[in-house]
Amino acid sequence: MSTPRSFKQELVGVFGYPVAENPTQAMIEPAFADMGLAWRYLTVEVHPDRLGDAVRGARAMGWRGFNCTIPHKIKVIEFLDELSPAAKAIGAVNCVIHRDGKLIGDNTDGKGFVTSVSEVRDPKGLSALILGAGGAARAIAVELALAGASRLTIVNRTAKTGEALAAHVTQQTGVPTDFQPWTGDVAVPSTTDLLVNATSIGLFPDVDARVAVDVTSFRPGLIVSDVIPNPPRTRLIRDAESRGCVVLDGLGMLVNQGVIGIRLWTGQEPKPEVMRQALEDVFSA
Ligand code: NDP
């Protein structure tokens, strides 16, 4: 007697434009395989003018959810049914969950970052200096504040966006957040527990680009984190390591936000080590 089989696969994926450089599929599909799930994660290029059609298509085809990346993280909101408290506070969505016929927008970038920090210290009472004021910085600042950070400083090249982010975080979370203009090499104050590079400086192929920080202000025990996933060992991470800092690379954040996404879509726990190894394999290939 033949065994009954199902050829149906559950679908999730990422919508972006451009999207070819996005490595998420390379870590999510190995996690699904390891979990024994017949799920696929597709990397889909969606032109900004067709985002509404793409979301309606995903809904019609019963996709279980999808990630959104640049430039769709804000625009997608108008096509969704609900937002999580984090997505509302951040004002952007990077993860959509299709549940009970509704598309719910969430934001897992900042939570993935906070998970990485929690692996080395309790975020409660932490003082952080955040370089950058774009989407990643916004998610990180809001989630650090919601996780109990006591003070945040935003440093950004463009003062207007930096000031706006500082005001937004203070208003949304009540955590004192100030703005500091980025002039010359930024020195890390001795009261700072965590330095975050949330800019795109150092991203492949500009791997030798230098984040303008005064590395002589780095002290042993300072946590230095870089959002850049490719390459994981950025110049900033290498400098921090050589000065005895605790380092958190961008792969950790990427894996941790992927873990949260898989949990939201499937209700099951993936293995972060399987996902990290899969990414290391593609980046070293
Ligand atoms: P945005 O374009 O929204 O923001 C980019 C930020 O970088 C801005 O603050 C910009 O400053 C700053 N910046 C860029 N170039 C320079 C420079 N030469 N000198 C000074 N500042 C600069 O991008 P995102 O916030 O969405 O993404 C930032 C990075 O985070 C990307 O490299 C992305 O790969 C990474 N990322 C990693 C994730 C992970 O899981 N590891 C998740 C999400 C993002 P200004 O305002 O002055 O232009």
Q: Indicate if 110-248 has the same CATH topology as 10-107+253-284.
A: yes
pLDDT of 4 higher than 80: no
Residue 283: pLDDT band by 50, 70, 90 thresholds?
Answer: confident
pLDDT given at position 17: 96
Tokens of 232: 């994981």
Q: How would you list the strands of the sheet with 102-106, edge to edge?
A: 39-45, 10-16, 65-68, 95-99, 102-106, 82-83
Q: Summarize pLDDT for 79-131 with one digit per residue, the tens.
A: 999 999 999 999 999 999 999 999 999 999 999 999 999 999 999 999 999 99
Helices (H), 175-249: 235-242
pLDDT given at position 180: 97
For residues 204-225, average pLDDT: 95
Task: Spell out the domain ranges in the chain.
Answer: 10-107+253-284, 110-248
Question: Which fold, 110-248?
Answer: Rossmann fold (3.40.50)
Give the number of the atom of ligand 1 that is nearest the alpha carbon of residue 202.
32
Q: How would you list the strands of the sheet with 151-156, edge to edge?
A: 177-181, 151-156, 127-131, 194-197, 223-226, 246-248
Q: How many A from CA of 258 to the centre of ligand 1?
A: 19
pLDDT of 2 higher than 80: no
- Residue minimizing CA distance to atom 21 of ligand 1: 157
pLDDT of 246 higher than 70: yes
pLDDT given at position 285: 64
Give the number of the atom of ligand 1 that is nearest the alpha carbon of residue 73.
26
Tell whether ligand 1 has an atom less than 6 A from the beta carbon of residue 195: no
Give the number of the atom of ligand 1 that is nearest the alpha carbon of residue 138.
25
Tell whether ligand 1 has an atom less than 6 A from the beta carbon of residue 259: no
Query: Can you tell me the distance from the alpha carbon of 35 to that of 37, in angstroms, rounded to the nearest whole number?
Result: 5
Q: Summarize pLDDT for 12-38 with one digit per residue, the tens.
A: 999 999 999 899 999 999 999 999 999
Q: Summarize pLDDT for 141-198 with one digit per residue, the tens.
A: 999 999 999 999 999 999 999 999 999 999 999 999 999 999 999 999 999 999 999 9
Q: How many A from CA of 73 to the centre of ligand 1?
A: 14
Q: Summarize pLDDT for 218-230 with one digit per residue, the tens.
A: 999 999 999 998 8
pLDDT of 1 higher than 80: no
Tokens of 220: 């042993």
Residue 284: pLDDT band by 50, 70, 90 thresholds?
Answer: confident
pLDDT given at position 155: 98
Where b means 16+ CB within 10 Å and e means fewer, 80-111 reads beebbebbbbbbbbbbbbbeeeebbbbbbbbb
Active-site residue 73, yes or no?
Answer: yes
For residues 239-252, average pLDDT: 96
Helices (H), 174-249: 235-242
Give me the amino acid identity at 85: P
Mutate to test the pocket of ligand 1, among 27, 157, 206 (most ligand atoms within 8 A of CB): 157
pLDDT of 205 higher than 90: no
Q: Summarize pLDDT for 48-80 with one digit per residue, the tens.
A: 999 999 999 999 999 999 999 999 999 999 999
Token look-up 């279980």 returns 64
Q: How many A from CA of 65 to the centre of ligand 1?
A: 25
For the chain, the distance separating the N- and C-terminal CA atoms, rounded to the nearest angstrom, is: 44
CATH superfamily, region 10-107+253-284: Leucine Dehydrogenase, chain A, domain 1 (3.40.50.10860)
Q: What share of the chain is helix, strand, coil (3-state, %, to 5)?
A: 40, 20, 40
pLDDT given at position 230: 84
Give the number of the atom of ligand 1 that is nearest the alpha carbon of residue 257.
40
Contact 146, 169 (CB under 8 A): no
